[in-house]
Structure 1
Amino acid sequence: ILNMDPPKHHRYRRLVNRGFTPRVIRTLEQTIDERARMIVDQLQSNSDIDFVADVAVQMPAQVICDMLGVPPEDQQMVVDWTNTMVGFDDPYWQNTAEDGMNAAVAMFGYCFELAQQRRAEPRDDIASVLVEAEVDGERLTDEELVMFFVTLAVAGNETTRNLITHSVMALDRFPEVAAELRADPSLWPSAVEEMLRWGSSIHNFRRTAMVDTRIGDVDIAAGDKVVIYYMAGNFDPAVFADPHTFDIRRTPNEHQTFGGGGEHYCLGANLAKVEIRAMLREFVDRVDSFTITGEPIRMRSDFINGINKLPMHIGTVAPAPLASTSASTSA
C-alpha cells in the first residue's frame, strides 16, 4: 500500500481507515494510559535500564498487536519477527538476510492462520475487518491480507517506538523541558509535535514523478526520482523560525514526520501521538530524574532512524496515582 497510486490506493486505504479513525483512537486512550502505567510500574527506582527495551518498545508493540487481533501470548513473537525483518542487515541483531527471509515467511504463515480464524469467528479487530472487506466486489486475497498485516505490524511497532526514544533523548538533552511539562501538563500536545519535528523515525522516502512538475525553483520531469529527507524538511529555516531550538510551544508546527499530508499521510499518525504523549507523560511525571549514561546504539539503516539500545539511569519511580488512592482508601 505504501507504493500504490490512486485510484487503487484509495480503495485499499479505505479498508484500514476504519481501524484508525479519531473515534476509534479515542476509545483506545484509556487502555493506552493504563498500559503506560503498567510499563512504568515495572521500573525499579535508582536503577539502570535500557529505555528502548524496558519502555519504548512495550507500548506500540502491545497496542498494534491488540488492534490486529494478536493474542498476548503471541505478541513478543510478532515483535521478534519485525525486528528480524527490519534489522537483518544490522550487526546489533546479528541476523542474516536468510534470517530476515525466514522471519517474513513465519509472519506470513501466522497471518494466514489468523485470517482463517477470523473468517470462522470474526472479532472486533482489524484482522476481522480485513477478512470481511471487499475491493471492487471481491474479497482480499491471502497475499493482500499478508501485505496489510505486515505493513501495520512493522509500521505500528518500529516507527512509534523510535519516536518515543528520540523524544526522551530530547528531554535528556533539555532537562528544563521535562520540568516545564511536570509543572504544566497542558503543554503536552504542542510538546509532542515538537518532539516529532525534532526526531523523525524515518530518514527518507523516494517517489517517482508521474508528470512534469515544479517544486520551488526546481523542474522535475516525469520519471525523475524525488527523495524527501525528513530531518532536512523539519529543520528548514524557511518554514521554522530558529529551527535548531527545541521549543515545545512552537506554533504553527507543520513538520513532515508523518509525510506532510497527501495520499500517503501516515495512517497511524493520531494513534502514534496518543501513544507518545501517554508513555512520555507517565514516565516524566513518575520518574523524578533520568540520565542517558552511554552512546545510543543506532540501527544501521538508510531508511529507519532507529535506536536499538539507549542506556539510562533513572531516579525515584513514584507509585501510580491510582495505586496511591487505592492504598489510602483501603487504609
Structure 2
Amino acid sequence: MTDRLIPQGWDPTDPDINAIALPHDEFRALRATEPIHWVEQVPEARAGFFGSGYWACTRHQEVRDVSKDNENWSTAENGVIIRFAPDMTRDQVEVQRAMLIHHDPPDHTKMRGIVSRGFTPRAIAGLKEDLQERSHRIVEEAVAKGSGDFVEDLAAELPLQAIADFLGVPQEDRKKLFEWSNQMMAYDDPDFEIDPAIASMEILAYFDALANDRRANPQDDIVTKLIHAGEDDAHGALTNDEFGFFVILLTVAGNETTRNAISHGMHAFFQHPDQWELWKAERPDTMIDEVIRWATPITVFQRTARQDTQLAGQPIAKGDRVGLFYASANFDEAVFEDPFRFDVLRDPNPHVAFGGHGAHYCIGANLARMEIKLIFDALADIAPDISQAGEPRRLRSGWLNAIKELQVSYK
C-alpha cells in the first residue's frame, strides 16, 4: 500500500501538491503502514537546513508526544517552519531564533510568561462586545454588495480588525498588516511577487516606531503592556528583537490562521448544507473546534532531535528534523470517528491544530475561537442564504492550508 501511494521523491511539503489539495490518501497510507516516514528532499526544498531531508510524523499519538517533549525535541535548533523560500540561507534561519515560537525552555518559558499577560481570559473577554459589533457590521457591508470574495470581505476582515485593535494599530493601517502578512507567508505562490525579508523589515520598523510612541504615550493596548512587562520582576523585559519578532508572530499568525480557518469553515458548510442548517438552528459551541480541525490552517511544524532517540519504534538520530503533520493527525481514524465527516456536533474533538498541547500551544487560541464563533453567528443572523459562486482558489504553500479566493453570493 505504501509503495503504491508513496512514490519515490514524494514530499508532503511540496507546494505543488498542496496547491491542489492536502494529500489525505498518502497520509492515510502512512498512518497505517509507516507512521514515521523518511522524506528525502531536493536541495531547494531543504534551503537553510542541514541534512538531506526529514522524518514525516503522521499519527495523532506521536504528534502529541513530540509536542509535549522538550527534553528530546527542540524548536530552537532549526525553528518550526519546515520549508522556507528556496533561496533561504542558514544565516536567515538563525535570525528567526528571536521569535517566541523558535525558543526552547527555559527561554521560551520566560518569554511566554511575559507576553501571556496580554492574553488573559479577562483581556480576551474584554474584546467580545466590540468584536461582535464589528462582525455584524462586516457581514452587513458584504451583504450590501450582493456578492464578492469571501476571503477578503469576511474571513480576513474580522481577524485584521481584531489584531489592529489588540495591538493599538490605527484601523486605517490594518491593510498594511494584511499585505505584510501575505508577503511573509505566500513566498511559494506565483500570484504574489514578494520578498519576505523586506516585509519583515517593514513590519519591524512600523512596530518599532509604535513601541517608541507607547513608551512616551502609554495606552491600553498590548504594545504598551509588552514594552513595560517584566521590568519589575524576575522575568525581565523583552529585548527589542524579542518584542519585534513577537509582534510579527502575532500579526501573521493572528491574521493568517484565523482567516484560513474561517474560509475553510465556510467552504465546509457549502459542501455540507445539512451542517449549515444545524448551525443556524442550534448554534452549538462544538462548531468552533470542528471548523479548526477541518481547516488545520498550519499543516505542519517541525522539531529537531536533541539526542539519539526513537519515535514509534523508528530510530531518530540527533540533529534529524521531524515534521509534525497536524493535517494528518487531525484526520487519524484511531482518534476521530469518521474523520472525513464535517460534524459541527463532534465531541470530544482532541485536534492538534493549535500545536499539540505542549509548551508551544497557540497563545492566541481563545481569541481565534472567539472570532470564529462571532463571524459564523453574524453570517447565520444576517446572511443565512449565503451560497458558493465559484470554486475556491488554494494558496500554493509548503505548510499552509490556505484559501486565497472564494467567490460567494451573500443573499
- Provide the aligned length of Structure 1 versus Structure 2: 310
C-alpha contact (below 8 Å) 1:39/1:58 kept by paired residues: yes
Equivalent position of 2:322 in the other structure: 226
CA displacement 1:240-259 (0-9 Å, x = unmatched):
11111122221211001101
- Residue 393 of structure 2 corresponds to 297
Query: Aligned equivalents of 1:204 and 1:69: distance in 2?
Result: 31
Task: State the Cα distance separating 1:304 from its structure 2 match.
Answer: 1.4
Kindly report structure 1 stretches of 4+ aligned residues shifted beyond 4 Å: 135-138
Q: Which residue, out of 392, 400, 403, partners 1:307? A: 403
Inter-partner Cα distance in structure 2 for 1:177 and 1:20: 32
- Superposition pairs for residues 35-184 of structure 1, below 5 Å? 35-44=134-143, 47-93=146-192, 95-97=193-195, 100-134=196-230, 138-184=236-282
Tell me the percent identity: 40
Match of 1:325 in 2: none
Q: Residue type matched to 1:237 in 2?
A: E
1:213, 1:219 within 8 Å by CA — same for their partners in 2?
Answer: yes
Q: Check whether the contact 1:209–1:220 (CA below 8 A) recurs between aligned residues.
A: yes
Aligned residue among 303, 313, 317 for 1:207:
303
Normalising by the residue count of structure 1, what TM-score does the alignment of the two structures yield?
0.89
Question: In the alignment, residue 103 of structure 2 is paired with which amino acid?
Answer: M
Give RMSD over aligned pairs.
1.7
1:179-190 equivalent positions in 2, closer than 5 A = 179-185=277-283, 187=284, 189-190=285-286
Following superposition, the deviation at residue 30 of structure 1 comes to 1.1
Alignment CA distance shift 1:21-1:219 (3 Å): farther
Q: Per-residue displacement from partner, 1:95-114 (whole Å, max 9, x unpaired)? A: 133xx333222211111111
DSSP 3-state at the match of 1:247:
coil
Q: Distance in 2 between matches of 1:239 and 1:285?
A: 34
What are the ranges of 5 or more consecutive residues in structure 2 without an aligned counterpart? 1-99
* Residues 238-247 or 3-12, more deviating: 238-247
Counterpart-to-counterpart distance in 2, 1:284 and 1:217: 48
Q: Which residue of 2 aligns with 1:258?
A: 354
Deviation at 1:283, TM superposition (A): 0.7
TM-score in terms of structure 2 length: 0.72
Distance 2:334 2:152 in 1: 37
Preserved contact between residue 92 and residue 308 of structure 1 (Cα < 8 Å): no
d(CA) in 1 for partners of 2:381, 2:139: 10
- The 2-side partners of 1:28 and 1:288 are apart by 25
List runs of 5+ in structure 1 lacking aligned partners.
Answer: 316-331
Q: Which SS does the other structure have where 2:127 is aligned?
A: helix
In 2, the alpha carbon distance for the partners of 1:35 and 1:233 equals 34
The answer to whether structure 1 residue 7 and structure 2 residue 106 are counterparts is: yes
Match among 186, 196, 203 for residue 292 of structure 2: 196
Q: Which moved more, 1:270-279 or 1:304-313?
A: 304-313
